[in-house]
Structure 1
């Protein structure tokens, strides 16, 4: 699962994730900027429900954008950490 796909068109699908890798990644968190989040149509298609998502503050980002991003992620079932 990736937010940005750098895969070449026509490339073979990767092997399924091993149970060991899946267990290692269980409970991970991610960080997203409001500007980047606006480009993601549906986080639910990318992340397991309940994933902790930190909303990064970059200088110049309006607080309203941060609040809107946090509200959207919360409504989609994620644990938001401003």
Structure 2
């Protein structure tokens, strides 16, 4: 089975990671996925369910149960949907 190429970009906040990742994804026709979105989704769900984000066991359990689908945006206007 052939797996897609995965490129991880790491760096400090506001260092241009998202900018360069978007440019590379466009140039190489890759799917850009900001993993920070997953962390924010888990945090949002924890807050929505009144789970303290400081309770590592409950947040970890929640993260294990959340289904996150990764797909290209449904519109091509620079905003993200879905």
Q: Normalising by the residue count of structure 2, what TM-score does the alignment of the two structures yield?
A: 0.28
Higher relative contact order (CA 8 A, sep 6+): 1
Q: Normalising by the residue count of structure 1, what TM-score does the alignment of the two structures yield?
A: 0.28
- The structure where helix makes up a greater share of residues is 2
